[in-house]
Amino acid sequence: MVFRYSQGVFGVPGTHGAVSKLIKVLSTWLPSLRTRFVLLVAGLFLALSVVMIMVASYLDLRDEEQRVVSDARAIGATVSRLAVPHLTNHHYLILEQELESIAGSGVVELAQVHDPARAVTIDSDPDTSYFDEMDQHPLITLSLQTGLDQIRQTGDRIEIALPVRETADSPVLGVALVSVKRLQANGMLFAIWGRNIVITLVLLIFCVPVTFHFAENFVRPIKALTQTAHTVSAGNFDAPFPVERTDEIGVLARAYRDMVGTIRNNMARIHELAFVDPVTRLPNRESFRQHFNSNMQLADGTPVRMAVLFIDLDRFKRVNDSYGHDHGDALLKEVAARLQRLLNTSDKVAAGKTAFPPLVARLGGDEFAIVLPAEKPMSNVYTLADQLVQCVEQPLEINGLTMAVGASIGVSTYPDDGEDYTAILKNADIAMYAAKRTGGNRACFFNEIERDSRSHERIRLEAELKRALLADEITIAFQPKIDCATLRVVGAEVLARWDHPERGLLAPGCFIDVAEESDLITRLGDRVLELACRQGRVWLDHGQRLPLAVNVSIRQLEKPGFTARVLDILEITGFPAELLQLEVTETVAMGDPERISEAAKPLLEAGITFAIDDFGTGYSSLAHLQRLPFNTFKIDRSFISGLADDHHSRSIVQTILAMAKSLNYEVVAEGVETEEQHAFLAENGCTTAQGFLFARPMPAEHFEAWSKAFLMDGNHPRLAVGAQPKGGSTFAA
């Protein structure tokens, strides 16, 4: 009866009389209107539920079929992608293991990959091997012929074959086949019907009677919580949650409140890490950049005149070296506090007159920067610069110790000295270095040094060097190292060269200083090291095992991640670590022996060796030498050049050789140009020499030809002086 009534509701003709009769019978049996209404709603609900079960069963069955096909296709695509490198390199065993792992998940019944190049079929069955002969699946054959995906559905499984390609346009490397079990329709229908019937009964028994009375009570707090969630998603983390409730809505509201509180705290922490210097609590470089850029122009696009003061502390490194980084950090905090107090005082004096608030930030290391409005005349900037110098030079009390540092300040003005933040900061940096070159503890304005041709040359050379690193204009040359006793080539020093498009081949002396000051030395050093290791690997593959020495700058050692970059380059190029030697000048090594030892430790463990370059020109301490990771001295060329007529040079060289022997160090003599120098070194126990007596620095292809000629000739030094292989000239020193 209920079913017939429901048909009438849905427009089936001839049911109006049946509905009337049903209502009359219910009115007779059940005098309560409430009971009749509930039964009527229950009947409608039951009829609609039957229809919904039928529709849902059909849709769920179709969705389940589509899901199985989609899963099979996705798994096939995964197998196809996995098979690309294995088919390319014919690594069948690894591929077989991966297929077995895929089949072991229980979803896939069978996974196969066919390699037509070798007529091999690799499958997921652990009882078979790709050595076994197997019948080729029809779908694999069809996919190979057409180059298209093939699918076949049977009563109990779905099989999909997909061509294996490196890219969509690449030729077919093979075919991946996946077979997935297909669920039985009867079983799925029974499961779907059972689930929907249970749901319907539960709703009919429990939900219908309660809905009319409690729906609004349930919906109202959910609506309030939803509105609060929308408010939070719009960025208002202070929106109130209905946490006073004691039911599940209150629990959910409190969970939301706690989650939003955690997100708020995390965002505050992220903002602090991104924009606040952890040592001084000043804004960091990124915050400074954003402050500058946000105040560059007025609303109408008019540039706002502003000055950037680049502050570098004088003699700060001496504090770090003498007292440690803890004292250095404390000094930075005190300087930051002084700068902030001075800027706050200046800001109060100019209150209401400035276009934007001044900002002091720590850019990194011992570098600070200030940006402030610079109205003409710039008396406020000149006054502040002088005050900053006087402020910083006052003695500081750090952990009970009295310390004194100075400040070299460079000032550049926007838009007079540059069109954007990068140019202004760079020019302020240039002005700061000009202040340092004149003794430090003073301020220098960029517009006062812009007529200096050397400044312009430095700027131009820096820009060209950046372009050269991008355009691969940096090359390397190799100067051979010769065994003093056997006159055999035992290694080579790698020297950077810049193949400048206008000036020709430039030696390091023309651009290393610029690279050091502009912080391009890290990229330059990485480039030279990578080129050296790649060439060393090429020679090693050709049977020539040649140790290579590469110079390392103090800026490279100071940069975080130096050790990781060296090891990455060795891994990428395949050059053995034991054939690589890193050269550090004596001045750098003795200036910060702890940093050198710390940076060198993992490299030593990897097999890399270290050498002290230009030994004898610095102030080496035997105590430091024992702790440092070096095993090679390189005697500076200034001592070698004086061996002929300078008694002091001969004594110094003999002393270095004796000390090296007692410490079990190897010695390399640089700048050997005469046979007399070579003879003296050999007589006094020098192991290795390099210099123009043997060869000038040369490119890799000339080095190979020179090595062969050098080994074949019996009169090595006379042959090598000024000599070069035919077919090309050597590099200039």
421 and 570: one domain? no
Query: Domain range for residue 167?
Result: 62-183
d(Cα 431, Cα 381) in Å, to the nearest integer? 15
pLDDT of residue 579 exceeding 90, the answer is yes
503 and 432: one domain? no
Q: What is the mean pLDDT of residues 287-315?
A: 88
In the chain, DSSP finds a helix count (H) and a strand count (E) of: 27, 21
- The confidence score (pLDDT) of residue 729 equals 33
d(Cα 203, Cα 683) in Å, to the nearest integer? 104
Q: Which residue has the higher pLDDT, 201 or 544?
A: 544
Query: Residue 271: inside a domain, yes or no?
Result: no
Among 669, 653, 666, CA closest to 609:
666
d(Cα 53, Cα 47) in Å, to the nearest integer? 10
Q: What is the mean pLDDT of residues 16-39?
A: 60
**DSSP character string of 655-682:** HHHHHHHHTT-EEEE----SHHHHHHHH
Q: What is the mean pLDDT of residues 652-664?
A: 84
Lowest-confidence pick of 377-381, 579-583, 692-696 = 377-381
380 and 483: one domain? no
d(Cα 457, Cα 393) in Å, to the nearest integer? 32
Query: Residue 728: inside a domain, yes or no?
Result: no
d(Cα 68, Cα 62) in Å, to the nearest integer? 10
Tell me the one-letter amino acid at 184. Q
Residue-wise pLDDT tens digits, 85-134: 888 887 788 888 888 888 877 778 888 888 888 888 888 878 777 777 77
Per-residue pLDDT band for 480 (boundaries 50, 70, 90) equals very high
What is the β-pairing status of strands 406-414 and 443-445?
parallel
Which of 183, 204, 223 marks a domain boundary? 183
- The confidence score (pLDDT) of residue 78 equals 86
Per-residue pLDDT band for 350 (boundaries 50, 70, 90) equals low
d(Cα 180, Cα 105) in Å, to the nearest integer? 11
569 and 610: one domain? yes
The answer to whether 685 and 715 are in contact (CB under 8 A) is no
Strand order from edge to edge, sheet including 108-115 = 120-123, 108-115, 174-181, 157-164, 150-153
Query: Residue 550: inside a domain, yes or no?
Result: yes
d(Cα 664, Cα 152) in Å, to the nearest integer? 76
Helical ranges in 369-445 per DSSP H: 379-393, 421-437
Query: Residue 337: inside a domain, yes or no?
Result: yes
d(Cα 269, Cα 551) in Å, to the nearest integer? 41
Among 211, 153, 195, 143, CA closest to 173:
143
pLDDT of residue 542 exceeding 60, the answer is yes
Q: Which residue has the higher pLDDT, 245 or 469?
A: 469
CATH number at residue 66: 3.30.450.20
Which of 183, 211, 242 marks a domain boundary? 183
Rounded to the nearest 5 percent, the helix, strand and coil shares of the chain are 55, 20, 30
139 and 88: one domain? yes
- The confidence score (pLDDT) of residue 557 equals 76
Residue that has been written with the tokens 């110079």 in this structure:
551
d(Cα 74, Cα 466) in Å, to the nearest integer? 46
- The confidence score (pLDDT) of residue 601 equals 82
For residue 493, what are its two tokens? 């020093």
Per-residue pLDDT band for 534 (boundaries 50, 70, 90) equals very high
435 and 300: one domain? yes
Among 141, 75, 94, CA closest to 114:
141
573 and 626: one domain? yes
The answer to whether 161 and 149 are in contact (CB under 8 A) is yes
389 and 309: one domain? yes
pLDDT of residue 364 exceeding 80, the answer is yes
The answer to whether 733 and 697 are in contact (CB under 8 A) is yes
pLDDT of residue 351 exceeding 80, the answer is no
Query: Residue 415: inside a domain, yes or no?
Result: yes
At CA 525, angle to CA 521 and CA 528, rounded to 5? 140
Residue 520: strand, helix, or coil: coil
Which range scores top for mean pLDDT: 244-258, 569-583, 709-723?
569-583
Per-residue pLDDT band for 6 (boundaries 50, 70, 90) equals very low
The answer to whether 423 and 417 are in contact (CB under 8 A) is yes
The sign one gets for the Cα dihedral 689, 692, 694, 696 is positive
Query: Residue 593: inside a domain, yes or no?
Result: yes
- The confidence score (pLDDT) of residue 730 equals 33
Question: How many Cβ atoms sit within 10 Å of the Cβ of residue 436?
Answer: 18
Residue-wise pLDDT tens digits, 702-721: 998 888 887 666 545 444 43
Residues whose CB is less than 8 angstroms from the CB of residue 550 and which lie 6 or more positions away in sequence, other chains included:
494, 528, 529, 532, 580, 581, 582, 583
423 and 485: one domain? no
The DSSP 8-state label assigned to residue 206 in this structure reads I
d(Cα 660, Cα 637) in Å, to the nearest integer? 17
Residue 127: strand, helix, or coil: coil
Q: What is the mean pLDDT of the chain?
A: 79
- The confidence score (pLDDT) of residue 224 equals 73
In the chain, the number of structural domains is: 3
For residue 691, what are its two tokens? 């210099």
511 and 372: one domain? no
Lowest-confidence pick of 503-507, 525-529, 538-542, 617-621 = 617-621
496 and 600: one domain? yes
**DSSP character string of 633-654:** EEE-HHHHHTTTT-HHHHHHHH
What are the beta bridge partners of residue 360? 370
Question: Global pTM?
Answer: 0.43
CATH number at residue 577: 3.20.20.450
- The confidence score (pLDDT) of residue 724 equals 41
Tell me the one-letter amino acid at 654. Q
pLDDT of residue 42 exceeding 90, the answer is no
The DSSP 8-state label assigned to residue 283 in this structure reads B
675 and 707: one domain? yes
pLDDT of residue 381 exceeding 70, the answer is yes
pLDDT of residue 242 exceeding 80, the answer is no
Q: What is the mean pLDDT of residues 653-681?
A: 87
Query: Residue 145: inside a domain, yes or no?
Result: yes
Residue that has been written with the tokens 């070069």 in this structure:
724
Which of 156, 183, 210 marks a domain boundary? 183
What is the β-pairing status of strands 609-615 and 580-585?
parallel
Question: What are the φ/ψ torsions at residue 367 (nearest 5 degrees)?
Answer: -110, 130
CATH number at residue 440: 3.30.70.270
Residue that has been written with the tokens 């057409």 in this structure:
146
**b (16+ CB within 10 A) / e for 114-149:** bbbeeebbbbbbeeeebeeeeeebebbeebbeeeeb
Query: Residue 21: inside a domain, yes or no?
Result: no
pLDDT of residue 623 exceeding 80, the answer is no
Which range scores top for mean pLDDT: 236-240, 354-358, 602-606?
602-606
